[in-house]
């Protein structure tokens, strides 16, 4: 039987599509939409401006135009547009002098002197580059992730950016999709925790918090489910998948206060997301009570014509505004400039136009832009040079890395006996690739893995560096991230592999740094294969065949198919950022112990995708790992998996009550012990399974905590489960419901955890909530 309260709550916007995050992360001390300026004062200011504005000036506030730094030299289109009030916002400016030059045009030449707002893709840092978001998620450390984005926000704000087009909270279940690197992986619970943490980091406890920027949640919604993993392709997901998998991270981000949402490019179930009023109005505004503004993805309004939905640009502008888009993002095509005409023709109403403009003006007031429109160039330089940011970047890279294999405890390397190392691979000394995608300007001071090892090991350890093999070029050019003319110096792969083998034979240990170049991942960088690109597999196998201990460091934003290659150790370092080399050197030498865990199931090969741990039982569940005739069903490594240099043991979990009534909460705890000889981190994970009442996933993550344990130390980790964790979207009821059912609960170090307990949810409390002996 379904309960009515959740259905009713959804209708009035109270039901949570996402999990309760209270146990995972610190709660803001003020409500997310509280602002440093009083609501009344904001309103008065906005209305005073609004009455003075022409329809053209209103449309200008609803447009964000491209203008890529470096040039403080202004482009006529942008400069003229700003001066005439036709451009109210600019993206891609990352230089304070450039931002100030454009701002001066708005404040000195435009009629109403409304300051510009600057947006940018601050995905994992601006000048100080942190690990890519999939790596941050692998830390399972929301507090650290919050700190990282707060730090990135501080740097961005100092250079004149007030708004990040991040976090990307798209659930990604198909690793062919290149943008998996920008999100938190396959799971809606982990995704929701990471979404909320990033929003708190970017924005702080309230809009207008000093040194913070607006969090722009994207891409609304379900962009990660693109057919075949092909970027921008259509998305067709069931109602159940949408509400239970793809929407929860958006809801969590909005509950955390995210003030901006970006509409996605692709059609969702047949309707382009940028003209999808069900998404942008019914769900976002009416159900979730979103108060901020919606921006289209770049060019997505104009593309409504390409989709075939709109007849021309004017129609596209009307359809997007009508659906709930507030602001159009585009290059030099301003589709929203059609809005004044549409207003005159009655295709949109004055109220609609004014409401959209109010949202933008209100945002600018809340940001304090009218008082402080300019970047302080001196402070920007100080912010960029702040060593604390670099420290955080190193710690984040260390905490993100996932140790996937460590046969014979080859890691950590023994400093006392180590005399020589062969560092091999096309990514070992590539600063650009160590930073990863979404870094606009190459940063001069990034530390590669080779450089990090050199610095760590000093002159007494001989390091031979061999690139080994080249990297392939993409089949067709990319408009997103054009490859440099020479990707790597042209290389004779056969000679390079022979050279690498010789270097490995001549060394105590071979460290291979392989994976995907930054251009092979991110937007417009989906792949049809999960193989190591180029001849890297041959290189890996040839070096392993030397019999020397081989440590494989992977740089990737997705799982890769390593086939039968069998290096002794594998460390997934992601794209670790500015301090990546130092972080990896610390991890390999044991100065830091790896503690990251996979935010996705690692498939055996591309034919297995999409592969998730939270599948439904369906027919013949005992055959789940044999569903293919020619392939096992289980992943290489399960969701949540990651090794340490120490080991952890779990006792049987204990539930505090065997039976709870719907709406009540139950405590679940487990004792975890460090049974090894080194200090280390374990991420204790809690999974549940609802046994009856609906076809629910075999397991679902509903809690986790990363803890540090000294050798021999024991900790009791306690979680609470309540209606948020035990409810789900029922397509039948068209609401979130909680069923009466028995629940299994597992606690352990990954999604295959075997320590199990049980409790039941009933219609009314039956046992008075008696505690159960552990």
For the annotated catalytic residues, the residue numbers are 297
522 token code pair: 């991110």
- Nearer residue to ligand NOJ within complex by CB, 274 or 685: 274
- Nearer residue to ligand NOJ within complex by CB, 89 or 546: 89
Positive or negative, the CA dihedral 18, 22, 23, 28 is positive
Rounded CA-CA distance 516/558 in Å is: 9
- CB count in 10 Å sphere of residue 683: 22
265 token code pair: 């490019």
- Shortest distance, CB of residue 277 to ligand NOJ, whole angstroms? 21
Tokens 């690692």 correspond to what residue? 602
Which of 130, 140, 165, 288 is the binder for ligand NOJ (CB under 6 A)?
165
523 belongs to the binding site for ligand NOJ (CB under 6 A): yes
- Nearer residue to ligand NOJ within complex by CB, 165 or 759: 165
- On the CB side of 665, how many CA atoms lie within 13 Å of its CA? 11
Are 736 and 728 in contact by the 8 Å Cβ rule? The answer is yes
Peptide bond connecting 70 to the previous residue in cis, omega within 30 degrees of 0: yes
218 belongs to the binding site for ligand NOJ (CB under 6 A): yes
> For residue 35, what are the CA distances in angstroms to 28, 153, 313?
13, 18, 36
How many residues would you count in the chain? 774
* Binding to ligand NOJ in span 266-305, by CB under 6 A: 297-298
Q: Count residues contacting ligand NOJ (CB under 6 A)?
A: 6
121 belongs to the binding site for ligand NOJ (CB under 6 A): yes
- CB count in 10 Å sphere of residue 587: 27
State the pairing for strand pair 741-748/755-762: antiparallel
- Nearer residue to ligand NOJ within complex by CB, 220 or 736: 220
For residue 408, the 8-state DSSP code is: G
List residues bridging with 743 in a β-sheet.
690, 759
The separation between the first and the last C-alpha atoms of the chain, rounded to the nearest angstrom, is: 30
Are 112 and 46 in contact by the 8 Å Cβ rule? The answer is no
Can you spell out the DSSP letters for 342-390? HHHTTSS-HHHHHHHHHHHHHHHHHHTTTT--S--HHHHHHHHH-HHHH
- Nearer residue to ligand NOJ within complex by CB, 165 or 336: 165
- Nearer residue to ligand NOJ within complex by CB, 438 or 602: 438
- Nearer residue to ligand NOJ within complex by CB, 255 or 523: 523
- Nearer residue to ligand NOJ within complex by CB, 121 or 433: 121
* Binding to ligand NOJ in span 340-399, by CB under 6 A: none
List residues bridging with 554 in a β-sheet.
514, 572
- Shortest distance, CB of residue 193 to ligand NOJ, whole angstroms? 21
- Nearer residue to ligand NOJ within complex by CB, 67 or 604: 67
- Shortest distance, CB of residue 187 to ligand NOJ, whole angstroms? 21
- Shortest distance, CB of residue 218 to ligand NOJ, whole angstroms? 5
- The helix, strand and coil proportions of the chain, stated in percent and rounded to the nearest 5, come to 35, 20, 45
- Shortest distance, CB of residue 526 to ligand NOJ, whole angstroms? 13
- Shortest distance, CB of residue 116 to ligand NOJ, whole angstroms? 17
State the pairing for strand pair 550-555/648-650: unpaired
Are 365 and 46 in contact by the 8 Å Cβ rule? The answer is yes
- Shortest distance, CB of residue 480 to ligand NOJ, whole angstroms? 8
- Nearer residue to ligand NOJ within complex by CB, 295 or 550: 295
330 belongs to the binding site for ligand NOJ (CB under 6 A): no
Of all residues in this chain, which one has the CB nearest to ligand NOJ in the complex? 165
List residues bridging with 268 in a β-sheet.
235, 271
Rounded CA-CA distance 293/273 in Å is: 15
- Shortest distance, CB of residue 165 to ligand NOJ, whole angstroms? 3
- CB count in 10 Å sphere of residue 281: 16
CB-based contacts of 304, cutoff 8 Å, min separation 6: 272, 274, 275, 310, 315, 316, 319, 320
* Binding to ligand NOJ in span 487-516, by CB under 6 A: none
State the pairing for strand pair 117-120/163-164: parallel
- Nearer residue to ligand NOJ within complex by CB, 121 or 739: 121
- Shortest distance, CB of residue 666 to ligand NOJ, whole angstroms? 40
Closest CA to 16 of 740, 743, 737: 737
3-state secondary structure of 516: coil
List residues bridging with 505 in a β-sheet.
none
450 token code pair: 């080779």
481 belongs to the binding site for ligand NOJ (CB under 6 A): no
- CB count in 10 Å sphere of residue 314: 18
* Contact residues: ligand NOJ, CB under 6 A: 121, 165, 218, 297-298, 523
């Amino acid at each position: 039987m379904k309960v009515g309260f959740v259905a009713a709550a959804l209708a009035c916007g109270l039901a949570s599509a996402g999990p309760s995050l209270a146990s995972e992360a610190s709660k803001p001390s003020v409500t997310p939409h509280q602002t440093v300026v009083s609501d009344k004062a904001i309103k008065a200011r906005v209305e005073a401006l609004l009455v003075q504005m022409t329809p053209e000036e209103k449309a200008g506030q609803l447009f964000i135009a491209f203008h890529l730094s470096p040039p403080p030299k202004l482009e006529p289109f942008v400069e003229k547009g700003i001066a005439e009030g036709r451009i109210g916002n600019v993206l891609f400016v990352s230089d304070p002098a450039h931002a100030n030059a454009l701002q001066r045009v708005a404040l000195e030449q435009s009629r109403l002197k409304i300051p510009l707002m600057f947006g940018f893709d601050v995905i994992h840092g601006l000048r100080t580059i942190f690990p890519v978001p999939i790596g941050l998620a692998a830390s399972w450390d929301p507090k650290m992730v919050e700190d990282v984005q707060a730090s990135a926000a501080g740097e961005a704000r100092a250079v004149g950016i007030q708004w990040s087009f991040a976090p990307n909270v798209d659930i990604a279940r198909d690793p062919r999709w290149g943008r998996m690197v920008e999100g938190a992986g396959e799971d809606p619970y982990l995704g929701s925790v990471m979404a909320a943490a990033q929003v708190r980091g970017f924005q702080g406890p309230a809009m207008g918090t000093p040194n913070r920027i607006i969090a722009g949640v994207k891409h609304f919604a379900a962009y990660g489910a693109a057919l075949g993993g092909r970027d921008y392709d259509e998305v067709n997901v069931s109602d159940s998948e949408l509400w239970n998998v793809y929407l929860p991270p958006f809801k969590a981000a909005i509950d955390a206060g995210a003030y901006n949402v970006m509409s996605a490019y692709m059609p969702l179930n047949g309707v382009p997301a940028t003209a999808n009023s069900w998404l942008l109005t019914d769900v976002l505004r009416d159900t979730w009570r979103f108060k901020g503004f919606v921006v289209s993805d770049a060019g997505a309004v104009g593309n409504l014509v390409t989709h075939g939905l709109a007849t021309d640009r004017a129609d596209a502008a009307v359809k997007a505004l009508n659906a709930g888009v507030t602001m159009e993002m585009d290059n030099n095509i301003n589709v929203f400039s059609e809005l004044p005409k549409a207003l005159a023709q009655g295709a949109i109403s004055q109220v609609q136009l004014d409401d959209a403009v109010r949202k933008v003006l209100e945002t600018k007031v809340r940001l304090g832009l009218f008082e402080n429109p300019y970047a302080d160039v001196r402070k920007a330089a100080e912010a960029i040079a702040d060593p604390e940011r670099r420290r955080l970047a190193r710690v984040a890279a260390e905490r993100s890395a996932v140790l996937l294999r460590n046969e014979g405890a080859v890691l950590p390397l023994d400093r006392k006996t180590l005399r020589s190392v062969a560092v091999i691979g096309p990514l070992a000394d590539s600063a650009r690739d160590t930073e990863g995608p979404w870094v606009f300007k190459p940063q001069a001071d990034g530390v590669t893995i080779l450089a990090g090892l050199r610095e760590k090991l000093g002159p007494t350890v001989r390091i031979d560096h061999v690139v080994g093999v080249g990297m392939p070029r993409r089949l067709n050019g990319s408009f997103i991230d054009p490859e440099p003319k020479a990707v790597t110096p042209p290389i004779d792969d056969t000679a390079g592999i022979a050279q690498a083998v010789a270097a490995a034979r001549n060394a105590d240990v071979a460290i291979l740094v392989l994976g995907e170049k930054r251009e092979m991942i991110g937007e417009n960088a989906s792949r049809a294969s999960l193989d190591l690109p180029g001849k890297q597999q041959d290189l890996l196998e040839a070096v392993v065949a030397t019999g020397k201990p081989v440590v494989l460091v992977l740089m990737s934003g997705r799982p890769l198919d390593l086939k039968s290659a069998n290096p002794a150790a594998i460390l997934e370092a992601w794209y670790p950022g500015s301090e990546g080399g130092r972080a990896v050197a610390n991890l390999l030498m044991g100065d830091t112990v790896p503690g990251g865990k996979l935010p996705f199931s690692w498939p055996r090969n591309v034919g297995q995708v999409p592969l998730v741990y939270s599948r439904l039982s369906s027919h013949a569940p005992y055959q789940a790992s044999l569903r293919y005739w020619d392939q096992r069903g289980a992943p290489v490594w399960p969701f949540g998996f990651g090794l340490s240099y120490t080991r952890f043991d779990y006792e049987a979990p204990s539930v505090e009550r065997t039976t709870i009534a719907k709406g009540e909460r139950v405590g679940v705890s487990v004792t975890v012990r460090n049974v090894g000889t080194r200090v280390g981190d374990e991420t204790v994970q809690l999974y549940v399974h609802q046994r009856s009442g609906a076809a629910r996933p075999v397991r679902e993550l509903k809690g986790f905590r990363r803890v540090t344990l000294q050798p021999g130390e024991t900790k009791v980790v306690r979680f609470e489960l309540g209606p948020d964790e035990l409810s789900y979207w029922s397509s039948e009821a068209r609401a979130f419901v909680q069923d009466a059912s028995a629940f299994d609960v597992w606690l352990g170090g990954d999604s295959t955890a075997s320590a199990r307990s049980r409790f039941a949810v009933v219609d009314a409390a039956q046992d008075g909530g008696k505690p159960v002996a552990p």
